[in-house]
Each structure stands twice: as structure tokens, then as C-alpha cells.
Amino acid sequence: MDEAARRHELHREMRAAGFRPDRAASNVHLFVGERRTAGRNVAISIGFLDLEFTRLPVAKLLDPDREAPDVVAHLDNCGGLCFARHGDVVLDRYDIQGSVQLCVRLVDQGLERTLTHKRLQDEVAQEFQQHWDGATFFYDLQTEAAHLAWFTKLPDDVWALRRSGPLPQRLGGPKSVKKKNKENAVVISVNSELTFQHGQGRPETLAEFLAFCESGGYANRSEVVRLVTDGRALKEFVFLHAPNGCVGIRIMPSDVQRRSGFRPVTPIDRVKTRPETCEVTRLSGSAADLPHIFERNMHDQKPLTATNITLIGCGTIGSHLAKMLVQSGAGHLGGRLLLVDNQSLAPGNIGRHYLGPIHIGAPKAEALKSELQRCFPDCEIIAVSNEALGAVGMYNKDDLVIDATGEEALAIALNDHLFGGQAARLHVALFGNGAAAQALLVDGDEYACYRCLKTIDGKQWRYDPMKPGNAPEERAAACGEGNFIPYAVAAPSMAAGVALRLALDWRSGDPSRRLRTLQIDKKLASNIDDKNPKKLKDCPACEAYRVRTV
Ligand SMILES: [Zn+2]
């Protein structure tokens, strides 16, 4: 269907739904009409941004001042109606009739919900920062609940709110902050959720802000005035920090002409005596504290914060995995990440490794540490450029030790050294040119150890994902780089993903199933269901441990 046909069909369907085109709009396909909602007729417009149908249309009240004079959930301050979330609703350019009907139905439901004020305060509270409709700032208020704070201007017109201590690098500190860019601010901690009451608009003056604070029970008027006027200069920035977010205002007392014979009116006087004459601009916060950063994508899982983790092997799998671990909170909030690798980055690694060519020749563990800390400056990382077994004492009391070397002999030795200790062990490796990935978690004595996965004679892998006759192809590489198994970056990053999921499940207390196999190349590898692998009868590693502890 060409563009003209799509336009024709869009117009036909919108007319059928009771709308007429508004020819005045130049860039959008705009339609206006009346909807029967909340017991009355409400004039709205629906504008399709283009004929590609990749974006939801924009619905607006034509007369928001009359229909919804106050703040109403799902309504922005220009009358725009939030009727669905982009991504939740998929329009189909091959089914314009269905797409139009879907949008009109959602708009009708959204209008009804919005204009009948159903659950208004709860809905406003859920996205209060948007409803406050202020300029964006970032905040990290994790420290003690003091009233005084710094509001700091950073490059790119970014503002950051902190109670005390130097501004962390994550928020642009500490080097880039000039003293003149630090403003005194007052933060008021609020235990209940911020929301608007029925009939309440966004504050435009200090008097309205004080009324907002008092009507919601967030702070009393005289307390706010006392905090901002305490001291010689007025504290222009005031913030409310609540469980559902942080918003603020900047107080702007207008200049008052000095009348002869009178004492000049100071900003503090105006705030105290004429708050209705002090305009405010509003500020809407975006949380930038570490718990928020690491928890927001976790849903019901726990992040890897506050955990001691060792990653042995910073090669193709390990380098991608290290980044994923840090991204999931490893090394943060009291945890630390130990990286162990005794090799340096070679040119031949680049196509599969996380690190780029600027690190060629550098020890992998050190280079990975510096690269990760460049992006995650709060991360506690230790790099050890030694052979893994020589450093066992540094990590045998960790919470989790991950072996991403893919070297069976080393894995077997690690399995022996860490057997029965407090560290959970996670092994991850690729099979056959990257045709399959497998990860095993050993977190106790109930299921298989690493060596249990091989037969007694050590010649066969019990859960080998490779189809028979598909031995990995080894190619002679240039001198000095050893033999390498050729596969692109896809396979090691997929293997790292399997290992990360297992680590997150372990952290959340539900690592089952402990042996996970990912079939990457379906021609070469077969499917193995995830399982908790049983111990091997007479496993030499389990047996050696039993003898040691008897
Ligand atoms: Zn065993």
C-alpha cells in the first residue's frame, strides 16, 4: 500500500470514527472531533505524526483550561493525553482500520479515566516528577537526612543535588565543579508520597508552593520559610525528597525598587512577608544514586552489589562478562570485583574481546579494570596479572568465583582448591568454535562439582552439547599468539550472558537449574535441557575432598 493509499484509508477510518480532518495542520495528519465522556462532550484532536505508523498518535484536549483546569493524571500541561505507552501498543501499516480503531478506543478509555478523576492522586503520584513539569536535575540523597544540601551546576547545563561530600564522578565531580557553580539548597525529607490534591495546580509562586507543602502534609509553611531564610542570604533552591521522587523549586523574588526614605526590601523580607509575589521555577528530579541505578532494571532479582566476586580469565568471554557484572552492580556499594588474568591483549584478540586496540600490549586484567572504571567510576576493582592458582588466597573467601578461562585443566584445579569452601563457583565455556555455550554453578554439595561433569576416565564430557563428529577446528595462528579457536564476538558475549543470568539467579537465591547450555549453532550443537546435574559416582574430586575432611 503506497503512501497515498494509506492516507486515504486513514482519513476514511477517522471519519468513520467520528472525526474530521483539520486542514490547518501542516506537518501532522490532524483530526478533530467530540467524544462523549464523563457525562459530557469533550473536544479533542488526534494527530498522526506520519504515515509510517511507527509512532503513536498524539491526542489532545482542545480546551484543557475548561475541561481540566487543574493537574490531572495522564495529562501534560499542554492538554496532551497519555493514553498508551509507546511500545505497549503496536500499530500496523497494513491494517490501518484496526490501528485507528485501537487508538480511538484507547483514547476514549484514557479520557474517561482522566476526566472522571478515578484514582487521581495515586496515578499522579506514580509519575509525579512528570506532573511537576520542571527542569530536570539529578539527585543522590543517600546520606543522612540533613536539611542543607548543594545544588551544583555541571557542564551541559546539568544540575546535581547532593547533601554532603564531594560530588561523585558519576555526577560530573569532583574536578569539573567550580565554587561559583555550587548553590546552597534546602532538602526536606517527606515520608509520604508526593501528589496533587483535587483541584490543585502546579505552583507558580512561593505562596502556592507553601500551600502545596501544607495541604499534602509534607512540611509546614513556617518551617519552609525558616529554612530558606536562615542565614544571611536567601537559599533559593528548596526540594522535597519523598519515596516517589524528588522535586523542587527555585525562588525568584522580583526586584523591588527602593523608595526613598524606606529601608530596602531584601529577598528574605519578601519571602517572609509577600510569598505570593515571589515567582518560582519548578525542578523535577531524576534519581542518580547507586541503589536506584542498579536496582531499576532488576525487577524481582537482586543486583550484584555488596558482593565479593572474582572473575578468573579476562579473555573473550571474561571481558564481556566483567562489563555485564559491573553493570549489574558488582564492585558497588561495599562489594568488590577481583579480575585475574596473566595475559596481555594481542591484536588477534580484538575482534572478540571487549577491549579495543588502544589496549594492545597491556595486561588484560589491568586494561579491563581501567576501561570499566572509566565508565563506572564508583566501582571497586582489583586487577591481578598473575596466574590464577597462585592468587587463590585472595579470593577463596569470596561470595562467588567465576572461571571464564575455558581451560579444563585449570577449572579442575580450581574445583579442587575451592572445594567445600564458602565461595560459590561458576564455570563458563564455549564448545566447538562457539557452537554452544555452557555454564555450571557449584554452590554446595548436593549436585555435581566441575569434575563430576566428566566421566571417570576424564575422556568425555557428560553433557557434551556437540553433535558427534564436530570436534572444534583449531587453526595455527601467528607465532606468539598460540592456537586460537575462531569464532566471532557473538559466541563469547552469548556465553557471558548465560553466565550472568546464572550469577543473578544465584544472587537472588534461586540458581536452579545449575547447568545451563545455550545451543548457538543448531547444525553443530544439540539441545541439552537445563538441569541440576547429579554427582558422578566415584568422582575423583569429590572423593579427594571426602578423604581430606574425614
Ligand atoms: Zn565431583
Q: Residues 412, 389: contact at Cβ < 8 Å?
A: no
- Given a cut of 90, whether residue 67 has pLDDT beyond it is no
DSSP 364-413: HHHHHHHHHHHH-TT--EEEE-S-GGGGHHHHTTSSEEEE-S--HHHHHH
Alpha carbon of 313 to ligand 1 centroid (Å): 22
Give the pLDDT band of residue 380 (cuts 50, 70, 90): very high
Strand partners, 36: 41
**Above 90 in pLDDT, residue 360?**
yes
324: nearest Cα among 494, 521, 514, 518: 494
Q: What is the pLDDT of residue 478?
A: 47
Helix, strand, coil percent content, the chain, rounded in steps of 5: 30, 25, 45
Residue with cell 594481542: 346
Q: Choose the weakest-confidence range: 263-267, 428-432, 433-437.
A: 263-267
Task: Print the SS3 string covering 408-444.
Answer: HHHHHHHHHHCCCCCCEEEEEEEEHHHCEEEEEEECC
CA–CA dist 470, 525 (Å, integer):
8
As a whole number of angstroms, the distance between CA 419 and CA 548 comes to 10
CA dist 10 and 49 (Å) reads 12
- In three-state secondary structure terms, 459 is coil
Percentage of the chain exceeding pLDDT 90 = 71
Tell me what the pLDDT averaged over the chain comes to. Answer: 90
d(C-alpha 289, C-alpha 196), whole Å? 25
Task: Look at residue 164 in the predicted model and tell me its pLDDT.
Answer: 79
CA–centroid distance, 448 to ligand 1, in Å, is 5
Higher model confidence: residue 144 or residue 395? 395
Tell me how far the alpha carbon of residue 406 lies from the centroid of ligand 1, in angstroms: 18
Q: How far is the CA of 174 from the centre of ligand 1 (A)?
A: 51
Q: How far is the CA of 452 from the centre of ligand 1 (A)?
A: 4
Residue 485: per-residue pLDDT: 55
Return the pLDDT at 156. 85
Q: What angle do CA 339, 344, 348 make, to 5 degrees?
A: 120
Q: What angle do CA 403, 517, 522 make, to 5 degrees?
A: 130
Q: Note the pLDDT of residue 124.
A: 82
Tell me the pLDDT band of 364, cut-offs 50, 70 and 90: very high
Name the residue with higher pLDDT: 84 or 477. 84
- Rounded to 5°, the CA angle 233-283-237 comes to 10
What's the 410 CA to ligand 1 centre distance in angstroms? 15
**540 Cα: distance to centroid of ligand 1 (angstroms):** 7
Residues 6 or more apart whose CB falls under 8 angstroms from that of 162 comprise: 139, 140, 141, 143, 149, 150, 152, 171
Cα 546 to ligand 1 centroid, rounded to whole Å: 10
pLDDT of residue 198: 74
pLDDT tens, residue by residue, 161-201: 998 777 888 887 777 677 788 899 999 999 999 998 877 88
Q: What's the gap in Å between 90 CA and the centre of ligand 1? A: 51
Tens-digit pLDDT profile for residues 211-225: 999 999 999 999 999
Look at residue 480 and tell me whether its pLDDT is greater than 50. Answer: no
User: How far, in whole angstroms, is CA 247 from its chain's centroid?
Assistant: 20
Confidence (pLDDT) at 481: 47
The reported pLDDT for the residue numbered 266 is 87
Mean pLDDT in residue range 141-158: 84
Q: How many whole angstroms from 33 Cα to the centroid of ligand 1?
A: 72
Question: Which of 36-40, 90-94, 355-359 comes out lowest in average pLDDT?
Answer: 36-40
More confident site: 246 or 79: 246
Evaluate if residue 328 carries a pLDDT over 90.
Answer: yes
Between the CA of 447 and the centroid of ligand 1 the distance, in Å, is 8
For 229-288, what is each residue's pLDDT tens digit? 998 899 999 999 999 999 999 999 776 555 666 777 889 999 999 999 999 999 999 999
- For position 119, what pLDDT does the model report? 66
* Distance (Å) from CA 424 to ligand 1 centroid: 14
**CB neighbours of 344 closer than 8 A, spacing ≥ 6?**
361, 362, 363, 364
pLDDT score at 23:
86
How far, in Å, from the CA of 458 to the mean position of ligand 1? 12
Decide if pLDDT at 532 tops 90: yes
Question: 143 pLDDT exceeds 70?
Answer: no
Predicted pLDDT at 78 = 62
* Confidence tier at 79 by pLDDT (50, 70, 90): low
* Band of residue 490 on the pLDDT scale cut at 50, 70, 90: very high
Average pLDDT over residues 454-478: 79
| Ligand 1 center to 349 CA (angstroms) | 33
What does the block give as the cell for 472?
Answer: 572444534
Give me ligand 1 centre to Cα 400, in Å.
18
Q: Which domains does the chain have, with CATH numbers?
A: 3-118 (3.10.110), 128-288 (no CATH), 304-549 (3.40.50.720)
pLDDT of residue 255: 65
- How far away, in angstroms, is 532 Cα from ligand 1 center? 13
Q: Give one DSSP letter per residue of 470-520, joined into a string.
A: -PPPPB--STTS--B----THHHHHHHHHHHHHHHHHHTT---S-EEEEES
- Output the CA 307–ligand 1 centroid distance in Å: 26
Kindly state the percentage of the chain with pLDDT values over 70. Answer: 92
Question: How many whole angstroms from 550 Cα to the centroid of ligand 1?
Answer: 16
